[in-house]
Amino acid sequence: MKVGVVTFPGSLDDVDAQRAVRLAGAEPVALWHGDHDLKAVDAVVLPGGFSYGDYLRAGAIARFAPVMSEVIDAANGGMPVLGICNGFQILCESHLLPGALIRNDHRKFVCRDQRLRIDNAATAWTSAYEAGDEIVIPLKNGEGGFVADELTLDVLEGEGRVVARYLEDNPNGSLRDIAGISNERGNVVGLMPHPEHAVEDLCGPGTDGLGFFTSVLTALVK
């Protein structure tokens, strides 16, 4: 199976995401922001970083990259898509996910190992976990506060589309401690922390993040 990882100008974690895909057992395929070509991949990862320098608003310019027209169509057709950090911001800007990510409430960049609870283990990217599992993966963001109107938040809660929540301290002011959400179908997931940095015991806090990448392989063979 092939999992595409998009590189935008300013992407920082594309190679890390490719390595996570490889460790999970799939073939990583590099995708370029300026191409209208997904190279026949089975799933797509939008990695972390500062796409186009985040000069306008995080993810706002990347949303109009040529490759995103292909990603949007594929996601609407059911292809699994994972947006990590800046990728989460791009998914919201693309309206594949509701809400928005804004400046951290303390106005400082945060970088730390973050404890999360998996609330929805039924998505294409979380089936390797059990609902209620607590994991630790790195977090690094300056605009990671998830916000939405109360109705949208209630819908996300009511439909079980909150994928993960922050435990202990909320690092960025995200409403209802939300760290990640999915679309209605469960094929599109946005996550602010970085599972690709927790896939090997040698580096990072452990291997708690690998499940996001093995999950999608299970989803693709169903």
Q: What are the residue numbers of the active site?
A: 85, 194, 196
- The answer to whether 40 and 74 have CB atoms below 8 angstroms apart is no
Q: What is the number of alpha carbons within 13 Å of residue 115 lying toward its C-beta?
A: 6
Cα(80)–Cα(87) distance, rounded to whole angstroms?
13
In this structure, what token pair is assigned to residue 163? 């994928």
Q: What CA–CA distances, in Å, run from 195 to 24, 47, 61?
A: 12, 10, 24
* Residues paired with residue 46 on neighbouring β-strands, in sequence order: 83
Contacts 24+ apart (CB under 8 A), 24-27: 24/199, 24/210, 24/213, 24/214, 24/216, 24/217, 25/214, 25/217, 26/1, 26/2, 26/213, 26/216, 26/217, 27/1, 27/2, 27/3
